[in-house]
Amino acid sequence: MTQLIVKNGFVYDPLNRIDGEKMDLAINDGKIVGKVDEKKAKVIDASGMIVMPGGVDIHCHIAGAEVNTGRLLRPEDHFRDVEAKTAITRSGVGYSIPSTFTTGYRYARMGYTTIMNPSMPPLEARHTHEELNDTPMVDKASYPLLGDWWFVLEDLRDGMIKECAAHVAWIMVATKGYAIKIVNPGGLEAWGFGQNVRNIDDTVPRFNITPKEIIRGLCKVNKLLHMPHTIHVHTNNLGKAGNYATALDTMKCVENLASDDKPVIHITHCQFSAYKGSNWRTLRSGAEEIAKYVNHHRHVTLDLGQVVFTDTTTMTADGPFQYGLYQLTGNKWVNHDVETETSSGIVPFRYRRKSYVHATQWSIGLELGLLVEDPWRIYLTTDHPNAAPFITYPRIISWLMSRNARDITMKRINKRARHKSLLPSIEREYSFYEIAIVTRAGQAKSLSLTQKGHLGIGADADIAIYNINPELVDPSRKYKAVRKAFENSAYTIKNGEIVAKDGKIVKSVRGKTFWVNPQLSSPIEVADDMKRRFREYWTVEYENYSIPESFLAASAPISVKAEV
């Protein structure tokens, strides 16, 4: 196995409190080690460059039924963005919904090495994993959608938390999932008959349970199972004016489930849930209120869902939301309801600078990023591809790091949005250290991926080296240089091997798939109970639902000891 030394770089490793220190990293057998034989090792000269752990993305839709239908829906998205085959890489297409190989290569070029695919319909999990098997370069995992699953609704309605935990554990293993994903809880079940829920205290039709009870119940289940991540929540009323109140209610409703200082809920793509006002015309930012709450409560983490002005494709499990978006835009619309479990929808979308609403959305994301004080609890995402494709991250990094960059964009957005934006009043500019937190360290911590997001001894040797000198470049003024540096890493090292260099893929590697294997006290009983009800719930057999571990090209199970 190759030995590597990364020499003389400015290292940003926040989990080990290393802030731009000039130091060397030794790599052996895919891991960071204390020392290697200098004569045998290959040396990478990183002088004048930034060295960070490989990027970690906590929420981006890169694989599975919904993503793939998005690809199918949008040939026009691909025509102008193609990647030809090389001796090392497969061909593919972009733009907002790249083909699987291209997705892996593009992340690797940006120095990202671990990707979380946040929206897996359990019944179609096999599809997700087939695509992940074809997504090279990165380690990955998926979150099964469980907030509207009939077993969850029934168990929680009947107050059977332990049974619910057992069922959730079963489906984690059956689908090879990593975290509990909740999307518009109760709303997706209602959408089965074209309905929705209005707030977290509304009753889910036909099930006599409220979204609040679902969120709280699954939060308790999450704790019982000792899941590595918190519940991962896409709030009710997403994308609607006035929904910041729903977001606050959602965070508040699990406040008393938090003990010690640990987060118990992650509100994903929070920008989409931070709107004041009563309709699109009166839309205003709710970022201040949300940031204030988060600054005072340690049980919440967020990711941004930052909008970038471009043509993209929206796709969520939130069927009713997507239908609303279709009605709003008149664009083409895909709906896909999944029996017993969830729904989904897709609508192409263009964010325009001159639109009041879109410009306000853009501002809200950055306001959240800048007003939430603790970078360990807010992460950089675009909810790829919902608010923008992931290749726009470097641009967002430059906005976070530079007031100038923000001002320049500000000048070109809708006037009314500009006047209402809170951004001009915000001085804050991120440091490279903080960027390292919101793009890798914080996300790895939130996911409890202990080998990721840092460069301490024993960590996976997933490393990104960016060609920018923090001693010479002031990111506030030279934001374009920052952007450029983060667009194409000088080196991306995956598992101890150089896989990308100066924006070119030099080696194709597979990457593992993580999944959580909760150890229950009596797993057999669960299976019997599931088996009995299986044919009533689904149109497939129990035996054909579960995905065997061998189906994953590189399976990386994480065992957790459950309290049930």
Partner 1 sequence: MPVVSHVTCPVCGSFCDDIEVIVKNNVITDVRNACAVGAAKFLDYANHRNAKPLVRKNGELVEASWDEAVRKSAEILIDATYPLLYGWSSTSCEAIRVGLELAEEVGGVIDNTSTICHGPSILSIQDVGIASCTLGQLRHRADLIFYWGCNPWSAHPRHVERYTTFSNGRFQKSTWRAHVSRLGGILSKKRLRRAINLVLGRDVFATPEISRELPYNMFQKKRKMVVVDVRKTHSAEAADYFLQVEPNKDYELLQAFRMLIADEELDVDHVAGVPVETLNEIADVMIGCKLGVIFFGLGLTMTEGKIRNIDAAISLVRDLNQRTKFLIMPMRGHFNVAGANVVFTWQTGYPFAVDFSQGYPQYNPGETSVIDILCREEADAGLVIASDPVAHFPKKAAQNLVKNPLIVIDPQTTPTSLMADVVFPSTFVGIETEGTAYRMDHVPLPLKKIVEPPSNCLSDVEILQRILHEVRRIRSKRK
- Binding residues (CB under 8 A) for partner 1: these are 63, 65, 68-69, 71-75, 77-78, 82-85, 90-93, 97-101, 123-124, 126-127, 130-131, 134, 150, 192-194, 206, 323, 326, 331-340, 343, 346-347, 536-544
Q: Which of partner 1, Zn ion, none has residue 540 at its interface (CB below 5 to 8 Å by kind)?
A: partner 1
* Nearest distance from C-beta of residue 383 to Zn ion, angstroms: 4
Is 197 or 287 the residue whose CB approaches partner 1 more closely?
A: 197
Is 92 or 217 the residue whose CB approaches partner 1 more closely?
A: 92
Q: Which of partner 1, Zn ion, none has residue 340 at its interface (CB below 5 to 8 Å by kind)?
A: partner 1
Is 213 or 383 the residue whose CB approaches Zn ion more closely?
A: 383
Q: Which of Zn ion, partner 1, none has residue 193 at its interface (CB below 5 to 8 Å by kind)?
A: partner 1
Is 331 or 517 the residue whose CB approaches partner 1 more closely?
A: 331
- Give me the phi and psi of 351, to 5 degrees please: -85, 120
Answer for the pair 561, 165: CB distance below 8 angstroms, yes or no: no
* Nearest distance from C-beta of residue 134 to Zn ion, angstroms: 21
Distance CA 514, CA 530 (A): 24
Is 44 or 315 the residue whose CB approaches partner 1 more closely?
A: 315
* Nearest alpha-carbon partner for 398 in 355, 357, 366: 366
DSSP code, position 13: E
* Nearest distance from C-beta of residue 138 to partner 1, angstroms: 15
CA dihedral 207, 210, 215, 220 (to 10 degrees): -70
Is 213 a binding residue for Zn ion by CB under 5 A? The answer is no
Measured in whole angstroms, how far is the alpha carbon of residue 201 from the centre of its chain? 27
Distance CA 529, CA 171 (A): 13
* Nearest distance from C-beta of residue 320 to partner 1, angstroms: 11
Q: Which of partner 1, Zn ion, none has residue 351 at its interface (CB below 5 to 8 Å by kind)?
A: none
Distance CA 394, CA 249 (A): 33
* Nearest distance from C-beta of residue 235 to partner 1, angstroms: 23
* Nearest distance from C-beta of residue 333 to partner 1, angstroms: 4
Is 34 or 194 the residue whose CB approaches partner 1 more closely?
A: 194
- Give me the phi and psi of 477, to 5 degrees please: -90, -40
Burial bucket for residue 559 (CB in 10 Å: 0-12, 13-18, 19+): exposed
Structure tokens at 87: 């001796």
Is 280 or 542 the residue whose CB approaches partner 1 more closely?
A: 542
In the chain, what is the straight-line distance between the N-terminal and C-terminal CA atoms, in Å? 42
Is 19 or 130 the residue whose CB approaches partner 1 more closely?
A: 130
The owner of tokens 């790249």 is 98
Q: Which of Zn ion, partner 1, none has residue 280 at its interface (CB below 5 to 8 Å by kind)?
A: none
Is 342 or 439 the residue whose CB approaches partner 1 more closely?
A: 342
Distance CA 419, CA 494 (A): 45
Distance CA 391, CA 77 (A): 14
Q: Which of Zn ion, partner 1, none has residue 536 at its interface (CB below 5 to 8 Å by kind)?
A: partner 1
> CA angle at residue 262 from 211 to 260, to 5 degrees?
110
* Nearest distance from C-beta of residue 269 to Zn ion, angstroms: 6
Q: Which of Zn ion, partner 1, none has residue 377 at its interface (CB below 5 to 8 Å by kind)?
A: none
Q: Are β-strands 181-183 and 275-276 bridged in parallel, bridged antiparallel, or unpaired?
A: unpaired
Report CA-CA distances (Å) from 120 to 59, 106, 263, 344, 517: 12, 22, 23, 10, 17
* Nearest distance from C-beta of residue 365 to partner 1, angstroms: 27
Is 93 or 233 the residue whose CB approaches Zn ion more closely?
A: 233
Measured in whole angstroms, how far is the alpha carbon of residue 216 from the centre of its chain? 22
The owner of tokens 């069927």 is 319
- Give me the phi and psi of 41, to 5 degrees please: -80, 150
Q: Which of partner 1, Zn ion, none has residue 372 at its interface (CB below 5 to 8 Å by kind)?
A: none
The owner of tokens 């923000």 is 406
* Nearest distance from C-beta of residue 35 to partner 1, angstroms: 40
Is 163 a binding residue for Zn ion by CB under 5 A? The answer is no
Distance CA 462, CA 453 (A): 8
Is 117 or 285 the residue whose CB approaches Zn ion more closely?
A: 117
Which amino acid appears at position 375 of this protein? P
The owner of tokens 């030995």 is 3
* Nearest distance from C-beta of residue 77 to partner 1, angstroms: 8
Q: Which of partner 1, Zn ion, none has residue 383 at its interface (CB below 5 to 8 Å by kind)?
A: Zn ion
Q: State which residue has the least CB distance to Zn ion.
A: 383
Q: Which residues have CB under 8 Å from 5's CB, separation 6+?
A: 24, 25, 26, 27, 36, 38, 41, 42, 43, 44
Stretch that binds Zn ion, among 67-75, 139-147, 382-390, 426-434 (CB under 5 A): 382-390
Give SS3 for 44. strand
Structure tokens at 461: 């040797």
Strand partners, 514: 556
* Nearest distance from C-beta of residue 384 to Zn ion, angstroms: 8
Is 471 or 543 the residue whose CB approaches partner 1 more closely?
A: 543
Among 131, 148, 249, 383, binds Zn ion (CB under 5 A): 383
Count, residues near Zn ion per rule CB under 5 A: 1
Residues engaged in binding Zn ion (CB under 5 A): 383
